[in-house]
Structure 1
């Protein structure tokens, strides 16, 4: 779902008033991406989106350069050192998908003190000088549990498959799942494993815990793990539960085949990996002199049974449902946030 879809008449007028394309003011500026992890399809598509968007911006003369750097494996200390190195290299803005909301704050503060614009996204930082763009992850966890409650009004045993331990996004979605369990006391979370946002890791983790669990009616996930969960259940011989998906092609294709075979229905929700391009445009616009709120919310992308075929149309194998963001989307997000703050 595009940020454009948030616009009502007033919002459109606000965006029109805000929109102004600047070339000369950022033509000599350089923007870097610091990424903490690239081990799943979401992160790979995120990096591809960054590359595609920034390459076009360089080609069009909007900026002088944009580079992407990824740590070895979600190491906050390594990412902090990486950010300090980017400061020394003289980048004008640093866009960050952070390993920790707090562990990078010292390096982020150094960047701000050096006059560098810092925009964090997905995994955001808590340092006040930085900007933050993220989906409402706790709300997405609650939404998963709302769907399960709708499907099982009389109660259900739920397995939670979490993401990468120690990353803020995992904890935030988990908080939403817990809040959803409190909201729907008929839903009982009977087990929890870390699937590391990976099909293979999720399959292994779920297969390992299934023998110790009672009947599972539903599984809540965090992304790039739904297909692996399905494989674990199929290999175990257990009945297939309702598995909430995360917009990956493998998950959606499996879902469609199951629906055609036996009427299987579920729900899918995830942030869009092209949020990296949105973060780029926010950084570019701030460098160009535009003011933005420190905290910005990007909408999730959802797939229902009614929209499944459309979601799969043209979706490449191994990919994830996403769409590129533009500078107008960044300005729409700014206008939407300003409008919500004024209410």
Structure 2
């Protein structure tokens, strides 16, 4: 997620790498009058109005994510649980997002779904929504406050640490690497970088010659890497902490006639296709777009009186040479600049909420 652009715009009914191994059971709860979930209070009854406070709608990752939200709302409408979906777009501005969330509070929506444009700036308005009895579910880029109904995410620290360990193994603990980050100040980007640091500290033979912060889009990432290629004759690996960033890096190396180096990344279709095409030494994982759908489902379950977890941890799959073909086999179902995410359904969501 992103000030200039959040991440490019979701486990498993399929065999997609690791995430299908989740096994849980949804805890049953009491009726709305005795709701156990945080924030829920007042006389809120189905069908509910849900607000989707989007920080930025342009990147493909966000478009795909919004697609899972709208699809889940349509399913819940069929069940008589949701009436309306209110969508706002802050266009990358955290202050605008605060104003839009405040408008949702003033409209007395029943639930607010949010990816935070700032981990700290939204705390007051999010807490205010919670105090008003509105279900608040925060996913992907998280706020600092715990005054929410639930937070949903993969483990970004684990993401960074696992990527760094893979790089250490690929280079035998020695070499010159470039670190590619998403926008500074976005929790998912900052946390991935924090997760990588202890691994890098433990392997001083890996020299970080430079690192970047760019939008989660291939074009600016390619531009940034092109400049770094001109400035650095020797690069042994690219520790990229975002899928579109990795695609931009691979394209920059290719267009400059430089040999590809071990590169980490995400399930961005473009990166996975380039990985296969160039015979890249690669590693990736997945931030599923269906976290958005899960957030809507979680909010409605809470409003219905279910005791949902304060934090829902979604397992990280591993994409490597043994699993990449499973993802690429489904590539045609997703935009060329999109992310290949796994299938999802109510049964999966129920298992995740049973943690």
Q: How big is the shift at 1:301?
A: 3.5
Report the more deviating stretch, 180-189 or 81-90. Answer: 180-189
Q: Number of aligned residue pairs: give it.
A: 323
TM-score, structure 1 normalization: 0.88
Which structure has more RCO (C-alpha within 8 Å, separation ≥ 6)? 2
Q: Which residue is 2:300 aligned to?
A: 284
**Residue 163 of structure 2 is aligned with which of 144, 149, 153?**
144
- C-alpha separation between the residues in 2 aligned to 1:214 and 1:164? 26
Cα distance change, pair 19–183 in 1 and its aligned pair in 2 (3 A): farther
Q: After the TM superposition, which residues 174-323 of structure 1 pair with which residues of structure 2 at under 5 Å, given as runs?
A: 174-221=193-240, 222-259=242-279, 264-316=280-332, 317-323=336-342
Query: 2:46–2:82: 8 Å Cα contact kept in structure 1?
Result: yes
Structure 1 residues without counterparts, runs of 5 or longer: 337-343
- C-alpha separation between the residues in 2 aligned to 1:192 and 1:250? 22
- C-alpha separation between the residues in 2 aligned to 1:258 and 1:19? 52
Cα distance change, pair 271–21 in 1 and its aligned pair in 2 (3 A): farther
Q: Quote the RMSD (CA, aligned, Å).
A: 2.1
Q: How big is the shift at 1:324?
A: 4.6
Q: How big is the shift at 1:53?
A: 1.4
Cα distance change, pair 272–19 in 1 and its aligned pair in 2 (3 A): farther
Q: Which residue is 1:128 aligned to?
A: 146
- C-alpha separation between the residues in 2 aligned to 1:21 and 1:88? 26
Q: Secondary structure at the match of 2:82?
A: coil
Q: Which residue is 1:340 aligned to?
A: none
Report the more deviating stretch, 41-50 or 135-144. Answer: 41-50
- C-alpha separation between the residues in 2 aligned to 1:135 and 1:185? 28
Query: 1:272–1:300: 8 Å Cα contact kept in structure 2?
Result: no
Q: Which residue is 2:75 aligned to?
A: 56
Q: Secondary structure at the match of 1:120?
A: strand
TM-score, structure 2 normalization: 0.85
Query: 1:40–1:224: 8 Å Cα contact kept in structure 2?
Result: no
- C-alpha separation between the residues in 2 aligned to 1:142 and 1:21? 42
